[in-house]
Amino acid sequence: MPVLEIRTYRLKPGTRDEFVRVMREESAPLLAAAGIRVLDAGPSLVDEDGFEEAYLVRVFDSLDHRDAQEEAFYGSAVWREGPREAIVSRIETYHTIVVEVPEAVIANWRPAAP
């Protein structure tokens, strides 16, 4: 069964718009090129405790597949020399949840409008 990863980001003040732009326009295409399926990324509709927040939703074939793909991508020159600094420099903290989901859930996912 595939796994769905939901990553939420608490961002530094005033950085959300640029974070989301870089995530959608630069990071997500690189993730896709590396074989990592991005279902959605964008700003949170609610700022918890007044913090700007954003999210990233990805799908992997299995936990082992997730670990291998993340290790390969985040260790690559394309990430380190690409949008890494523009992403990481805007993050206060992040939290990740990974759950197994039926393929039908993934097939029926509709991303938020940019």
What does 7-38 look like in DSSP terms, one character per residue?
Answer: EEEEE-TT-HHHHHHHIIIIIHHHHHHTT-EE
Q: Whole-angstrom Cα distance, residue 101 to residue 3?
A: 6
Residue 104 pLDDT more than 90?
Answer: no
**Average pLDDT, whole number, for the chain?**
93
* Domains in the chain with CATH codes: 3-107 (3.30.70.100)
Confidence of residue 92 (pLDDT cuts 50, 70, 90): very high
The residue that leads in pLDDT, 7 or 112, is 7
pLDDT tens-digit readout, 13-71: 999 999 999 999 999 999 999 999 999 999 999 988 889 999 999 999 999 999 999 99
Residue 112 pLDDT more than 70?
Answer: no
